[in-house]
A and B are shown apart, each in its own frame.
Chain A
Amino acid sequence: DAGVTQSPTHLIKTRGQQVTLRCSPKSGHDTVSWYQQALGQGPQFIFQYYEEEERQRGNFPDRFSGHQFPNYSSELNVNALLLGDSALYLCASSLGGPSSYNEQFFGPGTRLTVL
């Protein structure tokens, strides 16, 4: 049973560029959440996708956008990268949308470095 997978593992970009991160949820899961974890801090919620729509959003600017595909996989896009966007980006999947009480399973993350 495949868990949550993310690609790429590591990524290096320069300021002003755009980046796309990808997440495949755990088998059977239909809900995907994205978190940003800066070095030495706890993860911060970016947004959650369910039924191909953004259902909840944290305190992140519009430069952060996402998408969910019919197969439940998801992409996180960040435009106009800033040095402060350097972080570990974690994807978490669950079943049943934002109102469910099911556990979230996390992927290994994508380490983004902005130079």
Chain B
Amino acid sequence: AQKITQTQPGMFVQEKEAVTLDCTYDTSDQSYGLFWYKQPSSGEMIFLIYQGSYDEQNATEGRYSLNFQKARKSANLVISASQLGDSAMYFCAMSPSGSARQLTFGSGTQLTVLP
């Protein structure tokens, strides 16, 4: 069984500053994928970034980067130069073998960007 833990129910960050959202995971699979999604108040889950368990380099997508520490089983999301539009719920998720199989989500972190 896979488990995702997000220990920060809420986070605040000043506009234009960087913020790190924490995510730890537990799995017995050797191959897996880690995802981050953003969920605005409208409800739609927006894909942000993906990291495969065998990827040696940390994934980056624009202002988003994933700090992957396999030995510590952590996959933290770093958002650089925060914008007001980044205010939303953020979910960490994982799937077996990184495929389009069932995603297991954490409980989420509510990020608020302050002007």
Contacts and interface: CB of A to CB of B under 8 A. Distances in A.
Contacts, number: 69
Contacts of B99: 98-101
Contact of A56 (B4, B46, B102): B102
B12 to A, nearest CB: 18
Contact of A42 (B33, B50, B102, B105): B105
Contacts of B108: 41-42
Interface residues of B, number: 23
Given A33-B102, A94-B100, A97-B100, A104 B43 contact: no
B44 A58 contact: no
Interface of B is mostly: loop
Interface stretch (A15-23, A63-71, A78-86, A106-114): A106-114
Contacts of A108: 42-44
A51 to B, nearest CB: 14
Nearest to A45: B102
Interface in B76-109: 91, 93, 98-108
Interface string A86-100: 001010101111111
Nearest to B105: A42
Contacts of A98: 99-101
Contact of A104 (B4, B47, B91): B47
Interface string B44-82: 111100100000000000000000000000000000000
A71 to B, nearest CB: 19
Nearest to B106: A42
A42 B100 contact: no
Counting chain A CB atoms within 10 Å of each CB, which of B91, B93, B105, B107 scores highest? B105
Interface of B: 4, 33, 37, 42-47, 50, 91, 93, 98-108
Interface of A: 31, 33, 35, 40-45, 48, 56, 58, 88, 90, 92, 94-109, 111
